[in-house]
Homo-oligomer: A and B are copies of this chain.
Amino acid sequence: MKTRIAIIGYGHIGRAVEQAVAASADMELAGIFHHNDTLDSIEADIAALCVPSRDVPAYAERMLEKGISTVDSFDIHTQVPDLRRKLMPVAREHNAVSVISAGWDPGTDSMVRAILLAMAPEGLTYTNFGPGRSMGHTVAVRAIKGVKDALSMTIPLGTGIHRRMVYVELEPGADFATVEKAILTDAYFKNDETHVMQVPSVKALDNVGHGVNMLRYGVSGATHNQRFEFNMSIDNPALTGQVLVATARAAARMKNEQKYGVFTMIEIPPIYLLNGDTEELIRTLV
């Protein structure tokens, strides 16, 4: 029997979830709901919450109260433990499963960080992002007076240090120097090397590609100089959508095993993310 997934929110991520569901033999679509649709009629095993992170808590709670399990890619790193604690009693009371922060970072990168820490418990991990668009920084620039549209690119400089390349399209009559100063003194930018450039069209720069370079230098037992590296070059929404669908599979399985509650990806066995017979997957992957 296929797992029935409802998509809530139909932007970049919602569309990517739709495509990943279509490509998964064990999944089927139970409906697509826009951000402001009524959700009373929703009938699904899992709701994939493809709404902005700030809206995730309310949607998750609403779905879990209906006994519908949820997956989301909530990406405000510092608030993940709070979200997990807040949703835990709701998921448990309604015999549902919620997997939170299931994208690539937080998400699969978090799993890799956990495995690297297990391999070398002492040491340093650096996660370098980009080149790629930072949504948080972009939204911060768009909110500045005189900015018609903006793009903030994250450029990795190594050891977790990033350069911000900010491209702004101005409203008629806006003063570039004033906008530039507002950006450079904004909390999002003031601690990073930031360059602001005026462009005629931000839309012409649109690209959802992104990347990660993660490094760990550490110690295994008493042995130093253990080196690990994880890289990816990816279409951001496509990967996020795919991870959400893999996580929905894990959520359905955990619900089936009556493991109700809220989980981050580091709390899930990797095999739960995969479609297929356990022994066959072990034969192929181990």
Residues in A lying within 8 Å of B, measured CB to CB: 16-17, 19-20, 22-24, 77, 80-81, 84-85, 101, 104, 106, 108, 110-115, 117-122, 219-223, 225-235, 238-239, 241-243, 245-246, 264-271, 273-275, 278-279, 281-283, 285-286
Inter-chain CA distance A24–B104, complex, in Å, is 30
What are 14 A-B pairs at a CB distance below 8 A?
A: A17-B221, A20-B222, A22-B222, A23-B121, A115-B273, A118-B270, A121-B242, A121-B274, A221-B238, A221-B241, A226-B239, A229-B230, A231-B231, A266-B285
Q: By the criterion CB–CB under 8 Å, are B228 and A241 in contact?
A: no
Cα of A143 to Cα of B264 in the assembled complex, Å: 49
Task: Give complex CA distance A227, B225 in Å.
Answer: 27
CB pair A114–B281 under 8 Å, yes or no, is: yes
Write out the residue numbers on chain B whose beta carbons fall within 8 Å of the beta carbon of A24. 121
Q: Which residues of chain B come closer than 8 Å to A223, judged between CB atoms?
A: 16, 19, 235, 238-239
A231 touches B232 (CB 8 A): no
Known: A111-B270, A264-B286, A266-B285. 15 other contacts (CB 8 A): A20-B222, A23-B121, A77-B286, A112-B230, A114-B270, A117-B274, A118-B274, A119-B242, A119-B243, A220-B235, A223-B238, A226-B238, A266-B282, A267-B278, A270-B270
Does A222 contact B19, Cβ atoms closer than 8 Å? yes
B275 A121 Cβ-Cβ under 8 A: yes
| A283-B80 contact in complex given A121-B24, A221-B19, A222-B238, C-beta closer than 8 Å | yes
Q: Known A111-B115, A232-B226; judge A242-B220 contact (CB<8 A).
A: yes
**What chain B residues lie within 8 Å of A235 (beta carbons)?**
220, 223, 225-226
A271 shortest CB reach to chain B, Å: 4
Is there contact, CB below 8 Å, between A285 and B119?
A: no
Cβ–Cβ < 8 Å partners of A106 in chain B:
286
Nearest to A215 among chain B residues (CB) is B231
Closest to A15 in B: B221
Q: Give the distance in Å from the alpha carbon of A29 to the alpha carbon of B261 in the complex.
A: 35
Contact B220–A239 (Cβ < 8 Å):
yes
Taking the closest CB of chain B, its distance from the CB of A246, in whole angstroms, is 4
Q: Which residue of B lies closest to A270 (CB)?
A: B114
A227–B101 CA distance with the chains assembled, in angstroms: 22
Whole-angstrom CA separation of A221 from B22 in the bound complex: 8
